[in-house]
Structure 1
Amino acid sequence: MSGILNSVNQRTQLVGENRLELLLFKLNSRQRFGINVFKVREVLQCPPLTSMPRLNKLVRGIAHIRGQTISVIDMSLAVGGKRIDDLSTAFVIIAEYNSSVQGFLVCSVERIINTNWQSIMPPPKGSGRASYLTAVTHIDEELIEILDVEKILNDISPVNTDLSDDLAKTMQVENKQEKIIFIADDSSVARNQIKKALSSLGLKIELAKNGLEALQRLKEIAAETGEITDKVGVLISDIEMPEMDGYTLTAEIRNTPELKNLHVILHTSLSGVFNQAMVEKVGADDFIAKFHPDELATSVQKWFGND
């Protein structure tokens, strides 16, 4: 266990080539869950937690870690399970999502496994809209569940998707009636956040649940029009997605003649560990950390119709 805890911070540099590492953990059952190591700052045994009035019921308390005050979310409660009672044996995964740092309370932390996004699949159909799964994978013939952390965080503190009044009044997008915005993101919450923010601009929007689905659909559109930019103004893509990540999707677009001129905005919760070299390598036009509606809309205005 100590070896895993000591190695997490040293292994957060893996990016690209459709590969990832998952830190496996358990809640109040035998089921194993995974979180991308790239999101993890460190793992530690649960420190003393301070209860505060009016905390969300999913937040077990506040921890003071390395000079920073961090909310600690009971991940078992967050997915509809029983609360984690024995904090003396529990662990906290410190992770950064959407420009903020959170602590995820879990029962145990196990090992780090190396895999690729092709092995990460969308959750089974029929899991329901209330499902907190964003993806699943199989490791040693065992199903590993990957949680939609953005949904959990949005349940605790809903994201404001409205554009500021000043920006909404001045925002103008060329050719908005002729072209669409294409959004690729595996999180239903993230897709809806982007859609709501940009729909106020009168833009037509098409959605895909992962990079592979997006690539296939973009090729279909290009086959119909001859040139993708005749129909699609800009692609907004998450980086972490089942089957094909955003880096690989961008690289495939740049290597496909009928798609290569499409403007690509990488839109991700991987804030604080942004790899500029990788974004430049795959040829993305812009990078925006989730979720800042004004910044996203401004980037769309910059690239939309700018062929």
Structure 2
Amino acid sequence: MASLLDSVDQRTQLVGENRLEILMFRLSSRQIFAINVFKVQEVLHLPKLTLMPKRHPVVCGVIHLRGQTLPVIDLACAIGMRPIVPDANSTIIVTEYNRTVQAFLVGGVDRIVNLNWDTIQPPPGGAGRQHYLTAITKVDDKLVEVIDVEKVLAEIVPYNVRVSRERLDDPVLARARGREVLLVDDSSTALNQLRDTLIQLDLSFHVATDGLKALQKLKAWSQEGIDVTEKLLMVITDAEMPEMDGYRLTTEIRQDPALRDLYVVLHTSLSGSFNEAMVKKVGCNAFLSKFQPDLLVDAVRARLAALEQ
């Protein structure tokens, strides 16, 4: 299965081109699911599984892999489907999200495909597992559902959004009160985390669920005669989103004379080392790895301080 990930080394070529690679797999049914290859470290057969007392219902146990102890999450069970019974032939996908590494138990891995983000659509509304999707697409006329892994992980270990008192007492942050910020993310979980953190600074929010909607909102303000650079303290955008990703959004902003001076922060669960290299390529002002409330507030402070210079 290692050869399945050979193409990951070329992933930097996709940045700014509004393209992505997804790893397709099945869970406990014939339906095909996917996650972004950027977040995949490896795919392998399940090593020896150690059961843990008082574990979360969707956690099968832990494995020891290359000096790390990793939780193994039954992804089918986590999104409300029939659980997968682990055995010696089971497959796991080892991923890194928000600076944590975990393994997802899956029914079987299909392949990697390279797509345009504009072929990725938001999921339809509905109950059940629809709440665990960030997008849908079609590959060979088959529906592929892209899982909101951030939501899955947040339900297992809730994120802390409380900003430390030391930071909140900073007089520079008092100047954030009433300022406006555009938040761009396709994950409702991520948007809630951002709002719950930044509301502690008395910031006002505008929200877009993908890069294209964000760009349309920015251009509409500009066409109304609004100085968008004065209106917004910053744009905080995810990297991977349907229709237009955060890299392409930043590129479009920099190419528009009315928008090019906007302060853009890339806020993503993708690998920090990878994104820091790409920030300069597309012109982001800063990069933040999800989800670190104090560092998010530090980014706001840095922007406010820069405005006073």
Q: Residue 172 of structure 1 aligns to a residue in which SS? A: helix
Structure 1, unaligned runs of 5 or more: none
Deviation, 1:124, is: 1.1
Distance 1:275 1:56 in 2: 31
Higher helix share: 2
Q: Show CA shifts across 1:82-118 (max 9, x none).
A: 1111422221100000001010110100111111111
| CA separation of 1:117 and 1:167: change in aligned 2, threshold 3 A | same
Contact 1:265 1:286 in 2 (8 A): yes
Alignment: residue pair count: 306
How far 1:304 moved relative to its partner?
4.1
Structure 1 position 229, deviation (Å): 1.5
8 Å Cα contact 2:178/2:202 also seen in 1: no
8 Å CA contact retained: 1:96, 1:272: no
Percent of aligned pairs sharing the same letter: 46
Partner residue in 2 for 1:256: 256
- CA separation of 1:306 and 1:227: change in aligned 2, threshold 3 A: farther
The more displaced of 289-298 and 80-89 is 80-89
Structure 1 residue 211: Cα displacement: 0.5
Equivalent position of 1:24 in the other structure: 24
Deviation per CA, 1:262-298: give whole Å up to 9, x if none.
Answer: 1000000013442333210211000010010010111
8 Å Cα contact 2:59-2:71 kept in structure 1: yes
Q: 1:59 to 1:29 in 2, by over 3 A?
A: same
1:158 equivalent to 2:158? Answer: yes
Matched, 1:7 2:16: no
Deviation at 1:127, TM superposition (A): 4.9
Report the secondary structure of 2:72's partner residue: strand
Could you say which residue in structure 1 is the equivalent of 2:71?
Answer: 71
Which residue of structure 2 lines up, in the alignment, with residue 289 of structure 1? 289
Offset of residue 223 of structure 1: 2.3
**1:56–1:156: 8 Å Cα contact kept in structure 2?**
yes
- 1:110 counterpart SS class: strand
Find the aligned partners of 1:304 and 1:170 in 2 and give their Cα distance.
Answer: 12
Report matched runs for 1:1-307 at 5 Å: 3-4=3-4, 7=6, 10=9, 12-16=11-15, 17-127=17-127, 131-170=131-170, 172-173=172-173, 176-177=176-177, 179-304=179-304, 306=306
Gap change, CA 1:179 and 1:224, over 3 Å in 2? farther
Cα distance in 2 for residues equivalent to 1:129 and 1:210: 20
Task: Pick closer, same or farther for the CA change 1:14–1:64 going to 2, 3 Å.
Answer: farther
* Letter in structure 1 aligned against 2:71: S
Q: Say if 2:76 and 2:82, in contact at 8 Å, map to a contact too.
A: yes
